[in-house]
Amino acid sequence: MAVPKNNINLEAIQKTRDALLKGEFPEKREFIAEGEWIFSEDGQFQGKLEYPSGALTVVTDQPPPMGGHGKAPNPVQYCVFAMAACYATTFMTLATQQGITVRKLRVQAKVVANMRAILEVEEGPVNLGVELTVEVDSDAPQETLEALRAAADEKCPAAYTVRHPVPFVSRLIKIS
């Protein structure tokens, strides 16, 4: 097995791509997360995220001014972190596919929430914008890195979701 460059296993990606082209790997993949409300001061919502070598229980809680206890990150923090992680993974995968060595990568994601709309003081969008800042240490020229950033803007699933309308459906199931 080849040594992964930038901590990306290109050999595994190529095998998966080949399997996809042969019809041996699903063309679509669902990602599902679920959890339950917590009725104690340990947080407000928790769920278990499973991955190939284990599982992790995550808890969310709002800060006290928003009705929580402040004992865990709030849901928006997880969302923003997931966006940064997704973008970083996409950027690094694209860089590695192009043979670019990256010594350090830092991604900051920022969402501006409209608290007046969230707290129903006025009508308006609850989210005023998303901003990603990428800091990269590499010998690649600035133009190459800018092209990588533009490609990550297009290929990152999280960035795509906030940049393009995607179908959204919510359902309610009464259980008692």
Check residue 66 and give its pLDDT: 95
Amino acid identity for residue 139 in this structure: D
SS3 state at 22: coil
Residue 3 DSSP label: P
**For residues 46 and 39, what is the distance between their CA atoms, to the nearest angstrom?**
11
Examine the domain organization and report whether 79 and 152 are in the same domain.
yes
Same-domain pairing of 49 and 104:
no
76 CA to centre of own chain: 11
SS3 of 94-107: the string is HHHHCCCCEEEEEE
pTM for the structure as a whole: 0.92
Output DSSP code: residue 24: -
Q: Give the number of domains in the chain.
A: 2
Q: How far is CA 30 from the centre of its chain?
A: 15
pLDDT number for residue 4: 80
Q: Say what the pLDDT of residue 1 is.
A: 56
In a shared domain, residues 78 and 68: no
CATH code at position 127: 3.30.300.20
* Residue 58 belongs to domain spanning: 31-73
Residues 43 and 84 in one domain: no
Q: Strands of 16-140 (E only): list them.
A: 35-40, 43-51, 54-60, 102-113, 127-138
Q: Are residues 85 and 156 in the same domain?
A: yes
Rounded to whole angstroms, the Cα distance separating 45 from 69 reads: 12
Together in a domain, 92 and 114: yes
Q: Do 143 and 99 sit in the same domain of this protein?
A: yes
Q: Are residues 60 and 93 in the same domain?
A: no
96 within domain boundaries: yes
- Does 99 fall in a domain? yes
CA-CA-CA-CA torsion sign (155, 11, 99, 83): positive
pLDDT along the chain (176 residues), means of 10: 83 96 96 96 96 97 96 97 98 97 97 95 95 98 98 97 94 95
Distance CA 79, CA 111 (A): 9
Residue-level pLDDT at 3: 65
Determine, yes or no, domain membership for 11.
no
What would the two tokens of residue 35 be?
A: 């959890």
* Residue 54: strand pairing partners: 51
54 Cβ partners below 8 Å, 6+ apart? none
Residue listed under structure tokens 């050999």: 11
